[in-house]
């Protein structure tokens, strides 16, 4: 999947990068654990340079999980054309290729029941390392594959592992980061996912699919070594009744022994979480709550998660090389794929600087509209090309331009904003379990769209498929205009009150 659409739950009031409460939802087995940590007064003074460097190092260590996730997501784009060729040592049909691309999403869908439990029971650090085992195992299945079924199993297992990474790393980063740099550090995981995809696009243009898998095993081993060298988060230690280790970790992170206020806030939040644990809202009864501050934003967030996947983003990123091959564009397919990956990387980087400066609703409307127009133009190119309709100008450049605009718009709009707005729209009492619902919706649709893409192309044609994706984008624009409130510069209370009017 595109990395933004799989961003895990980091929730709360997003005016929050100052002296306010920080709320993090941890996706568990159909329940939520809300850990609230009050920002220390360190946000108002200059951050210690050593402390910043240590937090950056710890963040980058866990964000290697994002790089490994990007490797897994990007592998199929360059591997499938080679696997489906007549020279492939394994017989892989087009429908088999669809399963190879989609099974990662199905594997990720099943990580929820285990990841939340393991994070609470063993900590963030140990859970990250434990999930590297199935990731390496999945890649080894792919490397040693003698049949398409081994490829299927390998992709499913690697998907399970990266699905857990998308939960663990952002939670860990949110728990270790000082309020003043939490926003910047929070974008690192997404950047590393996109960078991992880009690297696979570049390397995959020159090496075989098996060599790509070997490369990914190497990056996973580096991930294990780096994460092993780090300490767990103070919150994680406190949740496992290890206040001594929590203090030690916090002293190292803040480069200061003056941590009593922050330690007290962590202790209190963990205590409150345990006291209120029995009152948590369960996943299966969340849909029957009549409170408008719960029901309306819940269904709105589910729709946003659906719109993200029904735009076709995951299919585009999974089958990029194949798409350009079938388009007959004037640009070499591998070169075009690298360009698309580079565009996504730069756009994701730039979006981290603009996300808090422009209204969420306005951004979604504009970007979804551009995505719709891009898909319409892309589909029109296929229609003209496949029906041999000549034009007065050479349109060989249109596929690259259309997909480039599509990726840029997604990276600025639905990609980052769906998960950001989930934290802004939802009440803290349901944000964890609602995040689980949104995660299941996202991974489930990602699997369905990726698996169904080749069949859509077969029965609707290339142009019909992209025009259908554009219709979903247009519907999303209309829903956003009509129902989505603007959340920028509003408190969580103001946003909640808007649903009662």
CATH number of the structural domain spanning residue 349: 1.20.1250.20
| pLDDT over 50 at 14, yes or no | no
Is 293 in the same domain as 437? yes
**Residue 461 or residue 190, greater confidence:** 461
Helical (H) or strand (E) element with 56:
helix 49-83
What span, in angstroms and rounded, lies between the C-alpha atoms of 169 and 128?
8
Window from 126-135, 444-453, 468-477 with minimum mean pLDDT: 444-453
pLDDT for the residue numbered 213: 96
Is 324 in the same domain as 254? no
Asked if 304 and 312 count as a contact pair (C-beta separation under 8 A), the reply is no
| pLDDT over 80 at 17, yes or no | no
Q: Which two tokens stand for residue 198?
A: 């880009």
Q: What percent of the chain has pLDDT over 90?
A: 35
Q: Is the pTM of this model over 0.75?
A: yes
Does the residue 263 lie in any domain?
no
Please tell me whether residue 24 adopts helix, strand or coil conformation. Answer: strand
| pLDDT over 80 at 151, yes or no | yes
Does the residue 104 lie in any domain?
yes
| pLDDT over 80 at 256, yes or no | yes
User: Cβ–Cβ contacts within 10 Å for residue 419, how many?
Assistant: 27
Give 94's contacts (C-beta < 8 A, 6+ positions apart). 84, 454
Which neighbouring-strand residues pair with 23? 36
Is 254 in the same domain as 339? no
Is 310 in the same domain as 238? no
pLDDT for the residue numbered 133: 96
Asked if 453 and 315 count as a contact pair (C-beta separation under 8 A), the reply is yes
How far apart, in Å, are the Cα atoms of 180 and each of 18, 45, 46, 267, 292? Answer: 6, 9, 9, 21, 33
- Domain count along the chain: 2
SS (H, E, C) 257-287: CCCHHHHHHHHHHHHHHHHCHHHCCCHHHHH
Is 305 in the same domain as 217? no
Domain boundary pick from 192, 224, 258: 258
Is 315 in the same domain as 226? no
Q: Which two tokens stand for residue 325?
A: 């091959």
User: Residues 250-274: what's their mean pLDDT?
Assistant: 82
What span, in angstroms and rounded, lies between the C-alpha atoms of 28 and 33?
7
User: Residues 456-485: what's their mean pLDDT?
Assistant: 93
pLDDT for the residue numbered 46: 54
Does the residue 235 lie in any domain?
yes
| pLDDT over 60 at 399, yes or no | yes
Range with the largest mean pLDDT of 39-48, 112-121, 132-141, 426-435: 132-141
Is 238 in the same domain as 355? no
User: Residues 8-12: what's their mean pLDDT?
Assistant: 36
| pLDDT over 80 at 452, yes or no | yes
Window from 32-36, 81-85, 201-205 with minimum mean pLDDT: 32-36
pLDDT for the residue numbered 216: 96
Range of the domain at 363: 282-501
Asked if 171 and 155 count as a contact pair (C-beta separation under 8 A), the reply is no
pLDDT for the residue numbered 500: 75
How far apart, in Å, are the Cα atoms of 284 and each of 48, 288, 386, 440? Answer: 45, 8, 47, 13
What span, in angstroms and rounded, lies between the C-alpha atoms of 255 and 19?
20
Asked if 483 and 300 count as a contact pair (C-beta separation under 8 A), the reply is yes
Q: Which two tokens stand for residue 425?
A: 């729209």
Tally the residues of the chain.
501
pLDDT for the residue numbered 492: 63
């Amino acid at each position: 999947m595109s990395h933004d659409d799989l961003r895990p739950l980091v929730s709360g009031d997003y005016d929050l990068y100052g002296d306010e409460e920080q709320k993090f939802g941890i996706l568990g087995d159909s329940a939520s654990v809300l850990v609230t940590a009050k920002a220390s007064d360190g946000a108002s003074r200059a951050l210690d340079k050593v402390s910043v460097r240590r937090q950056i190092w710890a963040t980058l260590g866990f964000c290697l999980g994002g790089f490994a996730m990007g490797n897994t997501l990007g592998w199929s784009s360059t591997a499938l054309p080679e696997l489906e060729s007549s020279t492939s040592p394994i017989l892989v049909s087009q429908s088999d290729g669809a399963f190879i691309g989609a099974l990662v999403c199905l594997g990720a869908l099943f990580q929820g029941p285990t990841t939340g439990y393991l994070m609470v029971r063993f900590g963030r650090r140990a859970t990250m390392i434990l999930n590297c085992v199935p990731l390496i195992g999945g890649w080894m299945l792919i490397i040693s594959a003698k049949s398409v079924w081994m490829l299927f199993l390998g992709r499913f297992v690697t998907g399970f592992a990266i699905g857990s990474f998308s939960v663990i790393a952002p939670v860990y980063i949110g728990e270790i980061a000082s309020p003043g740099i939490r926003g910047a550090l929070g974008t690192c995981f997404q950047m590393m996912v996109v960078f991992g995809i880009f690297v696979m696009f570049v390397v995959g243009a020159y090496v075989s699919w098996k060599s790509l898998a070997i490369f990914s095993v190497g990056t996973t081993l580096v991930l294990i070594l780096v994460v092993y060298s780090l300490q767990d988060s103070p919150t994680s230690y406190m949740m496992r009744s290890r206040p001594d280790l929590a203090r030690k970790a916090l002293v190292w992170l803040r480069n200061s022994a003056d941590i009593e206020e922050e330690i007290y806030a962590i202790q209190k939040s963990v205590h409150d979480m345990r006291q209120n644990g029995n009152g948590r809202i369960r996943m299966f009864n969340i849909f029957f709550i009549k409170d408008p501050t719960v029901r309306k934003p819940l269904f709105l967030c589910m729709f946003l998660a659906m719109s993200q996947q029904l735009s076709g983003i995951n299919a585009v990123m999974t089958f990029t090389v194949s798409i350009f091959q079938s388009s007959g564009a004037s640009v070499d397919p591998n070169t075009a794929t690298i360009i698309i990956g580079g565009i996504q990387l730069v756009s994701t980087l730039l979006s981290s600087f603009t996300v808090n400066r422009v209204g969420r609703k306005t951004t979604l409307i504009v970007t979804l509209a551009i995505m719709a127009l891009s898909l319409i133009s892309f589909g029109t190119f296929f229609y003209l090309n496949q029906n041999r309709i000549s034009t007065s100008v050479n349109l060989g450049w249109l596929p690259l331009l259309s997909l480039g605009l599509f990726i840029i718009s997604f990276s600025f709009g639905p990609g980052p904003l769906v998960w950001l707005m989930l934290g802004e729209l939802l009440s803290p009492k349901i944000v964890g379990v609602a995040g689980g619902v949104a995660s299941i919706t996202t991974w489930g649709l990602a699997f369905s769209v990726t698996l169904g893409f080749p069949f859509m192309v077969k029965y609707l044609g290339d142009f019909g498929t992209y025009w259908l994706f554009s219709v979903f984008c247009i519907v999303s624009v209309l829903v956003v205009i009509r129902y989505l409130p603007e959340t920028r510069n509003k408190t969580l209370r103001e946003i909640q009150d808007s649903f009662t009017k």
